Each structure stands twice: as structure tokens, then as C-alpha cells.
Amino acid sequence: MLEKHGLYILEDAAQSMGSKYCSERIFGSSGTLGDIGTTSFFPSKNLGCYGDGGAVFTNSDALAAKVRMLANHGQTQKYHHEVIGLNSRLDTIQAAILNIKLPFLDNYISRRVEIAGRYNDSLGIVKSLKIPQIKFERRTHAFHQYTVIVEDGTRDQLREFLKENGIPSMIYYPLPLHKQKAYATKDELKISEQLCQKVISLPICPELSNEQQTYIINKIQSFYKS
Ligand SMILES: *Cc1c(COP(=O)(O)O)cnc(C)c1O
């Protein structure tokens, strides 16, 4: 299919890096399933550096050479520009930090999965909330975000209540792609639009302590009891 139409698969693994995908035909790590996988090392990501950074994964030497060229002003040889490129090199200082953090990635993710499991156990019983589910065995979740759907229209009140109690939360994302000025279309994508009104992401990171999480869970449960 892809070959017939001359298409490539580019996989955005900025939130999923470190998770595994499994189907009858394919088994692999997120970022390695397409022709090119990409990730971000922005500080808040599962593997973050101390500024901006990212990486591209591919098994193709030709694509690797092309990406290296594009990231370095379109040059293969200094001051000889073959194509119009970008200045998108990874700073050495960021690479040094990532080299130290990389061996811990699986641990960071295990801790995220543990936190998500506790949220699921205690928030799954709250009627107004729909918790994330992993529907297939042998697939794993990297839980870059822990996002719930608030089904009863109380999302914004919940967010305000959390804020009053010193608990940060985020809406990822407040505007769907087709409503962004840059990509605006007249299409109606009802489910995306509804989700933007209903989702809320709760604190999750390897450093979140059990005590902090207990406090968050108790507050959310008390909000829905009253
Ligand atoms: C963070 C993120 C990006 C952007 O990463 P940059 O490092 O800012 O380029 C792209 N896609 C997803 C899914 C992300 O989470």
C-alpha cells in the first residue's frame, strides 16, 4: 500500500518514546515502527534535556544522511549547501546530559506507570471520570501525560478547585488542529472538539511522591463527593 503510493510513515514519538507496540504482524518500540521516528528532549518530556533538543530514528542510511544534512544548514561539506536546511543541531551540552539520563529512561517510565496505576485504581470508581485504558496485552504506555475525560461537564470547575488547593493541571490541548489558525479548515471534527472541552491532565512525573499523589487523589474524590 505504502510502496504503491510512494508514501513514507513518519512516527511522532515525542510522548510515547520507551513504550512498546505489539500486533500480530509488528512488534517494536515506539519510534521504530515507521520509516522515520522522531522524539523531543524538551525538559518536560519523558527523556528531557535542559533546553531544546530532539532526535530522529531511522534504519535507512540514506534517510539518516539526509536528516543530518537538513539539520546542519543543508550542508554535507562545510560551506557547501546542497539544499535549504535548518540550524537544528543538538548542542553538545544537551547531548552530555542526555547520555547520563538515557540509562534511567526505563526507570522513569516504570515510575510513571506506577503512578498512573494508582490514579486508575482510585479515580476509576469516580463516576464522572473516564480513566485511560490499555486495551491490548503486550502493549505498554509511557504515560507522558495522565489524562482523564470529565464526562459530566465539571472539567473547568474541577480545574479551578485543584488550583485553589495548589494542584497544577493542564488541558492538552485546548484547541484541536483544525481550529488552529495555521491549519484552519471548515471541517467539523466533533469528537476532537468535544474532547478539548472534556479532558484534563493530572500531575505525573517520576519525582511525584506517594504523599503528593495521595493528596491529589483525596482532593479529587472529595470534589466529586460533595
Ligand atoms: C513536545 C512534542 C512535540 C514538539 O517537540 P519539540 O521539541 O518542541 O519540537 C511534537 N509532538 C509531540 C507529540 C510532542 O509532545
State the distance from the centre of ligand 1 to the C-alpha of 220, rounded, in angstroms: 29
Q: Where are the domains of the chain?
A: 10-40+54-89, 105-225
- The three cell numbers of residue 184 are 484552519
Mean pLDDT score of the chain: 94
Half-sphere exposure of 215 (CA within 13 A, CB side): 11
> What value does the mean pLDDT take over residues 127-139?
88
Percent of the chain with pLDDT over 90: 85
Distance 92 CA to ligand 1 centre (A): 20
Handedness of CA 7, 13, 17, 22 (dihedral sign): negative
What are the tens digits of pLDDT across the range 202-226? 999 999 999 999 999 999 999 998 6
Q: What is the pLDDT of residue 27?
A: 84
Strands 10-12 and 36-40, how do they pair?
Answer: parallel
| pLDDT bucket at 136, cuts 50 / 70 / 90 | confident
**Per-residue model confidence (pLDDT) at position 135:** 78
Residues with CB under 6 A from ligand 1: 12, 14-15, 40, 42, 52, 54
Q: Note the Cα 66 to chain centre separation in Å.
A: 26
pLDDT value for 125: 93
Please state the rounded mean pLDDT for residues 103-116.
Answer: 96
Instruction: Give, using CA atoms, the residue closest to atom 4 of ligand 1.
Output: 40
Name 49's Cβ contacts closer than 8 Å, sequence gap at least 6: 41, 42, 43, 94, 95, 97, 98, 101
As given in the structure block, the three cell numbers for residue 31 are 519510534
Taking a C-beta distance cutoff of 8 angstroms, is the pair 14, 48 a contact? no
Topology at the third CATH level for domain 105-225: Aspartate Aminotransferase, domain 1 (3.90.1150)
Distance 209 CA to ligand 1 centre (A): 26
Classify 170 as helix, strand or coil: strand
Q: Is the pLDDT of residue 118 over 90?
A: yes
User: 1 pLDDT band (50/70/90 cuts)?
Assistant: low
Q: Give the model's pLDDT for residue 226.
A: 60
Rounded CA gap, 171 and 162, in Å? 13
- Interval between CA 97 and ligand 1 midpoint (Å): 19
Nearest to 88 by CA among 41, 43, 33, 129: 41
Residue 104 and residue 76: Cα distance in Å, rounded? 34
Q: What is the mean pLDDT of residues 116-122?
A: 96
| Nearest ligand 1 atom to alpha carbon 16 | 13
145 CA from centroid of ligand 1 (Å): 13
Q: Whose CA is nearest to atom 13 of ligand 1?
A: 14
The pLDDT value given to residue 184: 86
Instruction: Give me the mean pLDDT over the 142-169 stretch.
Output: 97
Q: Looking at residues 127-142, what average pLDDT do you find?
A: 89
Residue nearest to atom 12 of ligand 1 (CA): 14
pLDDT 10s digits, 27-86: 889 999 899 999 999 999 999 999 999 999 999 999 999 999 999 999 989 999 999 999
